[in-house]
Structure 1
């Protein structure tokens, strides 16, 4: 069996998560900011890139 290319695997994962993002965006118990985040993910079809926040260079003293 052939392996799935990483890019294709990511596309398939996004498609699988889309219904969950739509459900989360509609949850009244969820804070509005989180519902907005899930609506953005549904609209964009992807999760936002966290790398700049996680790998930001340390500020100089």
Structure 2
């Protein structure tokens, strides 16, 4: 698996430097997730399809 080079932070990252959130990066078939407060630490990866379903479920629960 390749190392992500482009991380995106949620618009809900909080005030200040916006370091109160997770960051995600799209790989070929997976989504990588890391803690924005400790970006050099461990990164989790999930199959893109599973991560998409997870995010959709969160959006649905928020309604």
TM superposition score category, shorter chain reference: under 0.3
User: Scaled by the length of structure 1, what TM-score is found?
Assistant: 0.26
Q: Which has the higher contact order (CA 8 A, sep 6+)?
A: 1
User: Scaled by the length of structure 2, what TM-score is found?
Assistant: 0.26
Q: Choose between structure 1 and 2: higher helix proportion.
A: 1
